[in-house]
Structure formats: structure tokens, C-alpha cells
Amino acid sequence: MSEESRNRRVSVEKLVKIYAEGLGEDSAKKIIQDALTKLGLPSNTRDLSKDDAIKLCNLLSKNKGFVGIVSRFILARIYTGQL
């Protein structure tokens, strides 16, 4: 894994926008803030390391329905460097 790949950051705002397409912005912010709290990260975090973004999406991928599906989609985009 290249140094650039390891140091890549993922914007929390971008994650909110992706989830908001199906949940609305307020619900998207809430699920992400709740997941950040469960991971022991500040709920006001603006961007995540690649590893923390993967942890967040893995946690959310356990949900059924839209949130779980979108979380797995985001994981794929993180792993392929598209996010």
C-alpha cells in the first residue's frame, strides 16, 4: 500500500451527502455521529483517516436496508481509491 493511500482522508461531509440521498440530511448526520461516538471518535470530526472511515462503514454495514447497502458501496469506493 502506498504512503498516499495510507494517508488518504475521507470527508465526513461527503459521507453525509451520500447517505442523505436516501435518508435526508438530518438522519444521515445522526447515523454518522452515532457511529463516530460508538467508535470513540469525536462526533464533530470533519474528516477521517482511511482506516477510521473503513471502521465506520463496517459498523454501519451491519444495518439492514439502505444504510447497510450504501455502507458496503462506500467501503468498495474507499478500497478502490474512489473516495
pLDDT tens per residue, range 28-63: 999 999 999 999 999 889 999 999 999 999 999 999
Q: What is the pLDDT of residue 8?
A: 86
Rounded mean pLDDT of 72-80?
Answer: 96
Q: What CA–CA distance (Å, rounded) separates 44 from 63?
A: 22
Residues 2-34 have pLDDT tens digits of: 555 567 899 999 999 999 999 999 999 999 999
Which of 59, 52, 54, 51 lies closest to 74 in space, CA to CA?
54
